[in-house]
Amino acid sequence: MKIACVSDLHSPHYFDDFVKAIDNFREKPDLFLIAGDIIDRGRINEFDKFFNVIFGKIFCPIVACFGNNEYVNLRKELREKYKEIIFLDDESTFLEISGIKVGIVGSTGSLDKPTTWQKRNVPDIERIYEERVKLIDKLLAELKADFKILLIHYSPTYKTLKGEREFFYPNLGCEKYEKVLVERKPNLVVHGHAHNGTRKAWVDTVPVFNVAFPLSKEIVLINTEENLKAGITKFV
Ligand SMILES: [Fe+2]
Ligand SMILES: [Fe+2]
């Protein structure tokens, strides 16, 4: 299975580079995953530009989670407007791809340390983030599929944050998910948000990809046959 992934275009900021990247992308993926922050700071009209670029180019199922830049109050509109995209906001879905039952859990995720803005503006944000760890654990536990994917915006480990300033790790992800990954063993984890982090790492035998566009500067292609020999081959 070939899975193409992208996140953190922060359109308009990286939009032109994304257009070039998609032009150079010659693969025919079986699944296209979007790990959030396609638009910058709630600029909802930018999503149209993104959608127009992938329309006519990507013919496989498209599944997305929301980033912190897709503000909560815009999410309903995005879902209604772009029905071709399966948006997952603390939800799961199933797809049949080449005879394989693929289960995907999608979420914005959690931060160990909410941002100052979040603390001021989102009541009970710490509790929301704590509860979300439990919810994702539950969704993964209930996911009955041959191939299980966690699609999450914030990093569920600090391992893919290497390259960022260590002081900011708690603002970029939540380490509590590591236990969830070890316990529930999804076959693949895809996240974004860490623009200067590391592209891939392992949490136990679980492969974790950071697909933030400012980091990879390309559409990340994950070939499940080659890239996910968990526990046998470690990424270099
Ligand atoms: Fe971002
Ligand atoms: Fe983000």
What pLDDT score was predicted for residue 232? 41
Q: How far is the CA of 59 from the centre of ligand 1 (A)?
A: 25
Instruction: Decide: 115 and 171 in contact? Cβ < 8 Å.
Output: yes
Ligand in nearest proximity to the CA of 14: 1
Give residue 109 CA to ligand 1 midpoint distance, Å: 13
The H or E element spanning position 133 is helix 125-142
Q: How far is the CA of 33 from the centre of ligand 1 (A)?
A: 15
CA of 234 to the centre of ligand 2 (A): 27
Three-state helix/strand/coil letters over 165-199 = CHHHHHHHECCCHHHHHHHHCCCEEEECCCCCCCC
CA of 191 to the centre of ligand 2 (A): 10
Encode pLDDT of 22-75 as tens digits.
999 999 999 999 999 999 999 999 999 999 999 989 999 999 999 999 999 999
Q: Which ligand lies nearest the alpha carbon of 68?
A: 2
Cα atoms in the 13 Å half-sphere on the side-chain side of 94: 11
Using the predicted structure, report yes or no on whether residue 233 has a pLDDT greater than 80: no
Q: Residue ranges of the domains in the chain?
A: 2-227
Distance of CA 25 from the midpoint of ligand 1 (Å): 22
Per-residue pLDDT of 174-207, as tens digits, reads: 999 999 999 999 999 999 999 999 999 999 999 9
Query: Is residue 230 pLDDT above 80, yes or no?
Result: no
> How far is it, in rounded angstroms, from Cα 224 to Cα 111?
28
For residue 124, report the distance from its CA to the centre of ligand 1, in Å: 23
User: What SS3 state is found at 70?
Assistant: coil
**To the nearest whole percent, how much of the chain has pLDDT over 90?**
94
Neighbours of 82 (CB within 10 A): 17
Residues 18, 49 contacting (CB under 8 angstroms): no
> Which one-letter DSSP state was computed for residue 97?
E
Q: What is the pLDDT of residue 25?
A: 95
Q: Residue 170 C-alpha to ligand 1 middle, in angstroms?
A: 15
CA 105 / ligand 2 centre spacing (Å): 18
> 2-227: what CATH class?
alpha beta
Ligand 1 mean position, distance from CA 144 (Å)? 31
Distance, CA of 163 to CA of 190 (rounded, Å): 18
Q: What is the Å distance from ligand 1's center to 225 Cα?
A: 29
What predicted TM-score, i.e. pTM, was given to this entire model? 0.96
The CA 212 to ligand 2 mean position distance, Å, reads 9
Averaged pLDDT score across all residues of the chain: 95
Q: Which ligand is nearest to the CA of 40?
A: 1
Check whether 86 has a pLDDT greater than 50: yes
pLDDT confidence of residue 133: 98
